[in-house]
Amino acid sequence: MKSRKLISETGLLLAAILAVAIVIVGNTTFTSIRLDLTENRLFTLSDGTINILQSLKEPIDLNFYLSRKTLTEYPSIINYGNRVRDLLNEYAAEANGMLRLTVIEPEPFSEAEDQAVASGLQGVPVSNAGDLAYFGLVGTNAVDDERVIPFFQDNREASLEYDITKLIYNLAKPDKRVIGVLSDLPLFGMPMPQQPPRPWAIINAMQEFFEVRNLSTDVEKIADDIDVLMVVHPKDFSEQTLYAIDQYVLGGGKAMLFVDPMAEADSAQPDPQNPMVMPAMSSSLSKLLNTWKVEVTEGKIVGDINLAMRVQTRGPRGPQEAVYLPWLRLEQLNFNSEDFATNELNTVNIASTGVIEKLEGSTLEFTPLMQSTEMSMLIDSQRLMFQQDPASLLNEFISENRQQTLAARLSGKVSTAFPDG
């Protein structure tokens, strides 16, 4: 019996030693290995966020405030707070020591609460005694610039990574890059009496990260300090403006060009002298693109029976759903998974889009970013101006059995479209 007891105790001792050894080895060997086993990969950062974190040149301090004791009667907020804290730990783990995270419990009437208030955090009353709870984030960089998320709202949980990454990016890049916008659409809002113009959502989103300038469509030269030129629906650009774009691109400038065979957002009105003539809703950069041996097919819109969205329409039996070929819902397989501009996209809705093609003799590197399926065809834009019935469009559908390129990245050397200046 003594022998068996000795063996049993020795086995337990060895098991304990082995367990401790495994923990020590695990802590020293596998500290960089992290697994996310949650159903929706809640703690897996996107490639874009990881790129930002790993490119940090100077340390950034993050102070995460969560009033756990004050929020004991609100378990849903505590659970969300745990998720935010764990996600912030993932940020710190990916930042190569350049992100310093501190978790703070701001108790009532404490110095930590004073710091939270001074930084602009939003206190929420949680008791009849007037106690305030805090659940926010304060970030500072090496030159004491400060960015704040005043309170983590659970209705923005889907945008949690976006909000945190935006805060870190703005601290890492306090000098914003400049985007110059040239457009015949009112992207910066229409003038309104006694009210400021309301920019489109895309402009508001870009202004969170960049300095966005509204350029005149009769510009003579694109300023040297513009990092990216964004040209949207170039409908009535002068030769002078086209020359300015040409010279900017040939000088090595980066440009995003959005050319539309039928811009549904174009609110052009018919000519009072010719009310029966429909206003042009198309735009073109053919003078530049043709010189570069690239073409956006004019007057043609892509219809795709696999990607077509379902819309509400009125039929003989009342309202009903129908497939509308010119409105497409692009899924993950329609995006270039190798290009950083599209590899994070899952779904994009796009209306009345054209097709871009590389012409014979082009020396440009042509990389498709968004494509239709092979069950697609080109629809005449004039046809849609006068007849938009989904059923008739569907009856006329004949697949061309090839993918259409809806967006592409172009790079390489090109000649000027203005050889005589």
- Name residue, tokens 């378990």: 75
Pairing of the two strands 135-140 and 60-66: antiparallel
* Span between the terminal Cα atoms of the chain, in Å: 104
Taking the C-alpha atoms of residue 293 and residue 403, their distance in angstroms, rounded to an integer, is 20
Q: What is the pLDDT along the chain (421 residues), one digit of tens a residue?
A: 544 444 444 444 444 444 444 444 444 344 344 544 444 455 578 888 999 999 999 999 999 999 999 898 899 999 999 999 999 999 999 999 999 999 999 988 899 999 999 999 999 998 777 789 999 999 999 988 999 999 999 888 888 998 999 999 999 988 888 999 999 899 999 887 888 889 999 999 999 889 999 999 999 999 999 999 999 999 889 999 999 999 999 999 999 999 999 888 887 655 556 655 566 788 999 999 999 999 998 889 999 999 999 988 776 677 788 899 999 999 999 999 888 788 878 899 999 999 999 999 888 999 999 999 999 999 998 888 777 788 889 999 999 999 999 999 999 988 999 998 8
CB 266 within 8 A of CB 311: no
Q: Copy the structure tokens of residue 178.
A: 């400049």
Q: What is the pLDDT at residue 365? A: 92
Taking the C-alpha atoms of residue 290 and residue 224, their distance in angstroms, rounded to an integer, is 26
DSSP 3-state of 354: coil
Task: Give how far Cα 145 sits from Cα of 75, 103, 115, 205, 334, Å.
Answer: 33, 20, 15, 21, 40
Q: Give, in degrees to the nearest 5, the angle at Cα 154 between 153 and 159.
A: 85
CB 371 within 8 A of CB 354: no
Closest CA to 315 of 392, 395, 397: 392
Q: What is the pLDDT at residue 297? A: 87
Taking the C-alpha atoms of residue 120 and residue 195, their distance in angstroms, rounded to an integer, is 28
3-state SS of the chain: helix, strand, coil percent to 5? 30, 25, 45
Q: Copy the structure tokens of residue 406.
A: 């809806």
Set out the domains of the chain in order of their start, with CATH numbers: 47-172 (3.40.30.10), 176-258 (3.40.50), 284-421 (no CATH)
Claim: this prediction has a pTM higher than 0.75:
no
Q: What is the pLDDT at residue 270? A: 57
Taking the C-alpha atoms of residue 348 and residue 333, their distance in angstroms, rounded to an integer, is 11
CB 19 within 8 A of CB 134: no
Q: Copy the structure tokens of residue 353.
A: 């889009």
